[in-house]
Chains A and B, each alone.
Chain A
């Protein structure tokens, strides 16, 4: 008779292969000593298992804040408005980065915010550049048309 004393824990927690489990059950049907040890382990396991998990007193907090979306009003900036926008842009770039709300991992949250803020600023600058370029082209066309008109009038 081969006792299963070394594998009692694996049997109770069902970590044996199907054939090993079958062999162990067969042995337990014949061996009082091994059967007693299995019963003791199972009894203690049952008592422990009856103690339930508890809910955490509060959720684990992670904050990944997103900056507010910018308005699309810049699309309609006039040249004068573009100058004002450029001044505003300078003020935005010169402003200090706001202090983050206290969070448990300051470094991670601050870096995430910095990255998002930089992305937003780059996005804004690109759009502003496109708006200024479009306005400049429109102004150039207007000037050319005015110059042509003046030339024609002068000739007349």
Chain B
């Protein structure tokens, strides 16, 4: 699976170097994947500071557990799984709390801010499992099978979540 700009063979080589003791090589993996992982977590959590903390935490876990990665050609899927677990641990902790919406980050807006805000808010209206399927499918181009592995759910369930998520988003966004 190719995500971002790094091919699986590049991930594998870097991972092998890290496991051989070249710990600084892990920074190369971090530079390649920090933006997509951060954006995945941001769309799940909805808070920029918290997303950054969870992003850092996800990479820390990935570094600590790198030796346990069985298929080194599937680093990105494994990394998304770690980010998924990190997000959902935090989301379970935050259940029942009330959030105050802060001003949005407009530094990288190419579309009207109202539309970007609308998308961000609309995603937060989805149940977490539907939101995750939509985010991974639309913004990260993962296949249904890959999303199913991340969520630990059957492919049919993932597709149902996508349909329901899109239906809800269509009712919100038009």
A interface list, Cβ under 8 A from B: 9-10, 13, 15, 40-41, 43-45, 47-62, 64, 104-105, 108, 112
- Verify A104–B169 contact, CB threshold 8 A: no
Q: How far is the CA of A56 from the CA of B38 in the complex (A)?
A: 6
Say how far A115's CB is from chain B's closest CB, in angstroms.
9
Contact B30 A44 (CB under 8 A): no
Contact status A60-B56, CB under 8 Å: yes
CB < 8 Å: which of A40, A43, A58 contacts B52?
A: A58
Q: Chain A nearest CB: distance from B120 CB in Å? A: 7
Determine which of B42, B55, B162, B166 lies in contact with A54 in the assembled complex, contact meaning CB atoms within 8 Å: B42
B-side binding surface: helix, strand, loop or mixed? helix
Q: Are A60 and B138 in contact (CB under 8 A)?
A: no
CB contacts (< 8 Å) of B64 on chain A: these are 105, 108
Residues of B within 8 A of A43 (CB): 170
**Most chain B CB atoms below 10 A, which of A40, A48, A50, A53:** A48
B1 at the interface (CB under 8 A from A): no
A44/B166 contact (C-beta < 8 A), A49-B138, A50-B115, A56-B38 known: yes
Chain A-chain B contacts (Cβ-Cβ < 8 Å), number: 95
Q: How close is B49's CB to chain A, nearest CB, in angstroms? A: 7
- Contact, CB under 8 Å: A62 / B26: yes
Q: Is the CB of A60 within 8 A of B55?
A: yes
Bound form: Cα–Cα A48–B120 in Å: 9
Listed from nearest, the 3 A-B pairs whose CB atoms lie closest are A51-B119, A56-B38, A64-B23
Contact between chains at A44 and B52 (CB < 8 Å): no
- Interface residue? B17 (CB, 8 A): no
The CA of A15 and the CA of B162, in the complex, are separated in Å by 14
Which among B5-13, B85-93, B101-109 touches the partner chain?
B101-109
A56 to B42, CA, bound (A): 9
Which residues in chain B, 105-123, are within 8 Å of chain A measured between CB atoms?
105, 107-111, 115-116, 119-120
- 25 contacts across the A-B interface (CB closer than 8 A): A15-B143, A40-B170, A44-B166, A44-B170, A44-B173, A47-B119, A47-B169, A47-B173, A48-B119, A48-B134, A49-B139, A50-B111, A51-B111, A52-B108, A53-B39, A53-B139, A54-B42, A55-B35, A56-B34, A56-B35, A60-B30, A60-B59, A64-B23, A64-B27, A104-B56
Do A60 and B108 contact each other (CB < 8 Å), given the known contacts A10-B144, A48-B169, A104-B60?
A: no
Known: A41-B166, A105-B60. A53 touches B48 (CB 8 A): no
Interface check B74, CB cutoff 8 A: no
Residue of B nearest to A61 (CB): B56
**Chain A min CB distance to B173 (Å):** 5
Query: Closest residue to B109 on the A side, CB-wise?
Result: A52
In the complex, the chain A residue whose C-beta lies closest to that of B59 is: A60
